[in-house]
Each structure stands twice: as C-alpha cells, then as structure tokens.
Amino acid sequence: MGIFQSIRDAISTAREQTVLPANAILIDVRSPGEFSQSRIEGSVNFPVGEITNHIEAHCPDKTTNIVVFCASGMRSSSARNALIQMGYTQVFNGGGIGSLASKFNKRIV
C-alpha cells in the first residue's frame, strides 16, 4: 500500500468517526445548573459523574445510538468511555453543545 492510500484511508476513517447517527438519544453530561441555563431541544441531562447511575433506566438496550455532549467535549469523552465500559456499543462523543446543535439542526433553548 502506498503513502497516498494510507492517507486516504486515515481521512476516511476520521470522517466515519465524526458521522453521528440522526436517531441517537442526546445526553448532556454538563451540570444541572448548566443544563437549566441552556440545552439542546430534546436532550436529557445525566451529569458525567452520575451517568452510570441513570443510563440503564433510560437506555436498557446497550445497542442504542447515544450521543453524549458537554460544553467542549472533554466531559463527554469521559462519559463515552464510562458507557463503553458498561457494555454500550453505539456511543459517540458529540463534543460541545453549540456545534452539536448545529450538526443536528436543533435549537438551543
């Protein structure tokens, strides 16, 4: 495989990882205070430190498409890792609230 094929494969893989499923449950892992001030329409709030306590009641099917997000993507990265350790297989880090709302064409309320 040539260098150009390697680069093309790396770019394709990166694109695939940034595609978020349209039918996903949106979980805001910011604090309740942050969530009460602004949230993506239709999202639910499970703070990053509590997500493992609440997720099974909300998403018993571990193959459910889930997108976690926060203010910048840092807390959602931790939340994603915690859910994967619990056996959830379709968990995506949506990054920050503003860019995610734009990707899903949803309002921030």
The answer to whether position 98 is within a domain reads: yes
Per the residue annotation, which of 27, 40, 51, 70 is the catalytic one? 70
Give backbone dihedrals phi and psi of 106, rounded to 5 degrees, phi first: -115, 155
- Banded pLDDT at 96 (limits 50, 70, 90): very high
Range of the domain at 75: 22-103
What is the count of structural domains for the chain? Answer: 1
Provide the token pair at 37: 């001030």
In whole angstroms, give the CA distance from residue 71 to residue 80. Answer: 14
The answer to whether position 6 is within a domain reads: no
**pLDDT tens across 5-49, in order?**
545 444 433 433 468 998 999 999 999 999 999 999 999 999 999
Radius of gyration from C-alpha coordinates of the chain: 15
- Answer whether 69's CB lies under 8 Å from 96's CB: yes
The answer to whether position 39 is within a domain reads: yes
**Is 59 noted as a catalytic residue in this protein?**
no
Here the CATH number for the domain that contains residue 42 is 3.40.250.10
